[in-house]
Amino acid sequence: MYFLKTQGTDKIPDYVQIRDNHFVLLAHFKTNNPENQIKKHKLEKYKQEIIKLIETAPFGTLYKL
């Protein structure tokens, strides 16, 4: 799985993309309330790692989960 954080603008918020090993989009959600979205997309296994990356990762850098 892969993690990518994209930067928004004044009117568009920051988003997170979670993709599988074939780079198919599994989840796409705003960074302001990740816990509900992680649960909704059944990504609890990666919860701590995703939250840490949301807080610390720079925009536009791809990370392998």
Is residue 27 a contact partner of residue 41, using CB atoms and an 8 Å limit? yes
pLDDT, position 3: 97
Give pTM, 2 decimals: 0.90
pLDDT, position 57: 96
Across the range 1-30, mean pLDDT stands at 96
pLDDT band at 51 (very low <50, low <70, confident <90, very high): very high
